[in-house]
Amino acid sequence: MQSSIILLSQLTNTKKIKVGEDGTEIAVEIKHFSHKHDLKLTDEEVHNNEEKYDGCVRAIFPLFYNCAKCSFFCHKSCANLPMKKRHLLHQYQLTLLPKIPSGNKCYACSQYCNGFVYTCATCNFKIDVQCSLVLEILTHEGHRHRLILSYTSFTQSCSNCGDRRNLVFHCTTCEFALDFKCVTLPQITRHKQHEHLFTLSYTSEDDSGEYYYDICEEERNPNHWFYYCADCTYPTHPKCILRKYPNLKFGGAYTFDCHQHPLTFIEETEDDPPCHECSCPCKELI
């Protein structure tokens, strides 16, 4: 645990340390570079299923750092991320940046993210922290063979979601392939209208031959992964439970030069009002 204190010091000031029962030191209060207030380590459950970490933008589970003054949550492993790193997808060194309200598009998974990202000071390359941790060669619970990252001039179809990408993890034994989006799907997550946890499942839970998602009630492909609540025998589509922008955390209050009042980041409105800057209709992400 002493090593974790040293790692934390790269990005934070350790404000308070507790000695555990085994004699190891634990940073229980820190000042992280990404947030203006001190953060305290907590193992309490968060009862709002819509809350997400501000770093990795995933559903919140203990252990994590939390701001007592505002709704800021930092996963313990995110607090230990290095400030500088190199990644196999880019030739230059990358720097960790804190969240911004509107989000960046990740080079690897092509999804918008307003959590922590690694970015290049030389060009516009950006990769979110989840994708930055994926190895070039990996094993995944959803497939029996080893997967290797490959980039091709032609697009390849992801065996799980069907999206076509130039950048996929390809099986050299069979024709199975996964894109970054599916490789980084959370193993466990929550849904705002359900009390139990959902687990990522790779095989159908029954052999009836009829498969449907419970939220959207659409027929589902038994070969595609899904999220499943074992307590309620409740299968749901990843897009239904994670929604359209899984790597964006909405809400918060942000100040901009164009307006005198704080603005809140939201997904969409009912009436598509015109943007006060460009006059185009705001259909989503405003």
Place of tokens 């940073």: 27
Number of neighbours of residue 261 by Cβ within 10 angstroms:
7
Statement: residue 282 has pLDDT above 60? no
Q: How confident is the model at residue 187 (pLDDT cuts 50, 70, 90)?
A: very high
Strand order in the sheet with 25-32: 12-19, 25-32, 39-42, 64-66, 73-75
Among candidate residues 162, 200, 175, 233, the one with its CA nearest the CA of residue 58: 200
pLDDT number for residue 248: 87
Q: Which residue has the higher pLDDT, 206 or 163?
A: 163
Q: Cα–Cα distance between 17 and 148 in angstroms, integer?
A: 41
Statement: residue 219 has pLDDT above 50? yes
Residue 184's contacts (CB-CB under 8 Å, 6 or more residues apart) are 109, 130, 131, 134
pLDDT number for residue 4: 38
pLDDT number for residue 5: 40
What domains lie within the chain, and their CATH numbers?
A: 2-79 (no CATH), 84-132 (no CATH), 137-183 (3.30.60), 185-244 (3.30.60), 250-286 (no CATH)
Statement: residue 276 has pLDDT above 60? no
Average pLDDT, the chain: 83
Mean pLDDT score, 172-187: 95
* 245-257 tens-digit pLDDT: 899 888 765 565 6
Mean pLDDT score, 217-242: 83
Residues 96 and 118: beta-carbon distance below 8 Å: yes
Query: What tokens does 4 get?
Result: 């974790």
pLDDT number for residue 134: 96
Evaluate if pTM is beyond 0.85.
Answer: no
* 90-140 tens-digit pLDDT: 999 999 998 765 668 999 999 999 899 999 989 989 999 999 999 999 999
Statement: residue 163 has pLDDT above 50? yes
Mean pLDDT score, 72-101: 89
Statement: residue 260 has pLDDT above 80? no
Percent of the chain with pLDDT over 90: 44
Statement: residue 241 has pLDDT above 70? yes
